[in-house]
Structure 1
Amino acid sequence: MMPIFPDEVLRKNPQFKAVLQDLTTNKLNPDASSKLSNQGIKESEDVDKRLTILREELVKAKIIRQRLVHTLNELPADLKEVVDLYISSQNSSTILRKDDEAFFLEGLPLICKSLNKILLEDATDLANMCDDEDTSPYTLPETITNRLTTLETNRLTLHQTRISTLHSTLTLAAHHLNLLTTTLKLIEQTKHGLSSRAQKTQAKHLALVSDSLEGKVRIMQYDALDRLYDPDTLGALEFYREHLEDTKVRLKKMARKAEGELAEYDGFGEQVRRDVEVYARILGEVERVKGEIGRLQSGDA
């Protein structure tokens, strides 16, 4: 399937839009296959096959030329020199002499043996890189073919998944656009619309009514205070205040008098305590004298 492009992209790129319409209408089917005739398709497939074969041959020749360098150490000196000349001629597009070419062909079995050994080592390394115990240098082509097939299948699956994801993304974007549009409409209706403005106006009106009622209540409060505190009431309160002041003064005088009496009582109590102590000492002395007299009388007897 052809990839989907948003209408905005096509509108901003009219030339690309024309090319895309020509491809999707005249040259490609809905599944991205070609609309060419059977003869054209067959010729195209033949060309692709020939190109594939040529590419494979070129790759093989390139690998052989590259690996020939590693065979020089295992060849005789004269054959090594000829191989070196052959490699140089391949890189510089020069032609070997006939005797060198004949000598090269004579030593070809030995060269192939050494080259086969090196290529087998490379194949073994590649097989080890496959991380598969069943893979060996001899089964490596089959393993690579299977993996390439799996890779191509995964690519097709990934392509289909991407297309499906793109469809889902476009659908999600459309839903998101609808959601944003609805949200903006709701915001306009609730915050900036007629109903919102009406509610704001009503709120301002109620605030003004509240301020007016507050002013009326204050006026009523002041009127009540004026009626409550008339001149007679204020005179009575002033007389009562003076009475309280006089009472306060009298109470202070009484408190000072009581404090003086308490001080006198404290002094009198101290004097009585001293008299009691003196009296106690006198009684003790009298008792002692009586005891002495009694002792003297008992001694005379």
Structure 2
Amino acid sequence: MLPPVDPTTLQRNPNFETLYKDLCTRKLNPDGSTRDTKKQRMHDEIRRNLTTARSTLLSTQLLISTLTTLPSRAPTLPEDLHAYIDLVSALLSGQIPDPSDRDILSGDVAIFLDNIDIVAAAISTQLQTLTNHLCTIASPSDVPSSSSLPTRTEDLITSASLTLPQELLIARIELTNTLTSLLSLHKQILETSIRILEQTQHGSLARHTKARAELLHSRATLLGLQAKCYTYGHPPPAEFVHALKEFRKSQGTGERALRDREALAKQSLGLYDQAGEKGIKELAKRKMYLDNETRRMEKEIISLERRT
């Protein structure tokens, strides 16, 4: 198959469009192979013969299968013919391969052939019943008639072998053209994005942003200098200075108190280190003993007060 061509390219080049259509319709097959008329006719003849042979084989198998089950499914069939039908079914199925046995059974086969009209009518009725059942299964809502099946079958074969592949090919070409357009649009989007990034990083927009940042920095520096000048030219009030001094004194007093507490804590830690673990445990035991004695004395005092 030739690769698809953009329709705009074909419109801009009429001669190329004619050549492309000629290649697609006359020189090449839909699968891309070179079209050979003689070989294609030969292949068509082989295909028709193969189709005929397959149809004959399937028809034969269907008739043999129907004939095998006919005695049990055809109530109107005479019982005298059941044995002959079973015998002929076995012969047709290859269950009796010995030629001598076939010669012996030739009389039974002749009786079967004499009653072929009755058997054919029963087979036709059975096949018609099966056809109606299949039509009902295939389309329960709209049951087709058996007479319309050949036409529907030909339409389905034509659609499956010619129409649908052609539609698939056209859809594939359209999909390829759409993908080409999508890629072209994606390319334009990328180019635009790159251009915007370039303007942002190195273009007028970047220069404008840098100049604005420098302007804001200059304004901030100017405001800082103006604040310093105002501070030097306008000293704070005396009350504010006095309050700051008092606050500083209070901070110094608090700092000294904290330092004294820190020294006492360090001294206590040093004593604990000197006492060691055993000394600490002994102190803890003494404290517990004193606490218990204190609670006991308090209880005795309370009990004495209640008595008095």
Q: Is the 8 A contact 1:72 1:83 kept in 2?
A: no
Q: Residue 297 of structure 1 aligns with which residue?
A: none
Q: Is the 8 A contact 2:85 2:112 kept in 1?
A: no
Alpha-carbon distance, 1:100 to partner: 0.4
The equivalences for 1:150-299 within 5 A come to: 150-155=155-160, 156-191=162-197, 193=198, 195-198=200-203, 199-200=205-206, 202-229=208-235, 234=237
Q: Residue 56 of structure 1 aligns with which residue?
A: 55
Q: Residue 10 of structure 1 aligns with which residue?
A: none
- Give the length in aligned residue pairs: 207
Provide the TM-score with structure 2 as the length reference: 0.53
Given candidates 135, 143, 147, the residue that maps to 2:145 is: 135
Provide the TM-score with structure 1 as the length reference: 0.55
Q: Is the 8 A contact 2:29 2:35 kept in 1?
A: no
Q: Which has the higher contact order (CA 8 A, sep 6+)?
A: 2
Q: Residue 36 of structure 1 aligns with which residue?
A: 36
Q: Residue 64 of structure 2 aligns with which residue?
A: 65
2:195 and 2:144 map into 1 onto residues whose CA distance is: 71
Q: Deviations over 1:62-99 (max 9, x none)?
A: 112111211344543652552354255x2575544212
Name the aligned partner's letter for residue 55 of structure 2.
Answer: E
Change (3 A) 1:106 1:61: same
Q: Deviations over 1:83-141 (max 9, x none)?
A: 354255x25755442120332122224355235323323223424616677835xxx3x
Change (3 A) 1:168 1:184: same
Q: Deviations over 1:146-201 (max 9, x none)?
A: 1123224434333333222222211111111111111111111112x255334335
Name the aligned partner's letter for residue 98 of structure 1.
Answer: D
1:49 and 1:63 map into 2 onto residues whose CA distance is: 21
Pair member with larger Rg: 1
Alpha-carbon distance, 1:31 to partner: 5.4
RMSD of aligned C-alpha atoms? 3.8
Q: Is the 8 A contact 1:83 1:104 kept in 2?
A: yes
Change (3 A) 1:41 1:210: closer
Residue 107 of structure 1 aligns to a residue whose secondary structure is helix
1:84 and 1:47 map into 2 onto residues whose CA distance is: 32
Residue 97 of structure 1 aligns to a residue whose secondary structure is helix
Change (3 A) 1:117 1:92: same
Identity of aligned residues (%): 14
Alpha-carbon distance, 1:51 to partner: 2.9
1:99 and 1:216 map into 2 onto residues whose CA distance is: 130
Change (3 A) 1:180 1:59: same
1:63 and 1:164 map into 2 onto residues whose CA distance is: 39
Alpha-carbon distance, 1:44 to partner: 4.0
Q: Is the 8 A contact 2:27 2:34 kept in 1?
A: yes
Unaligned runs of 5+ in 2: 6-21, 241-308
Change (3 A) 1:189 1:44: closer
Change (3 A) 1:45 1:162: closer
Q: Residue 118 of structure 1 aligns with which residue?
A: 123
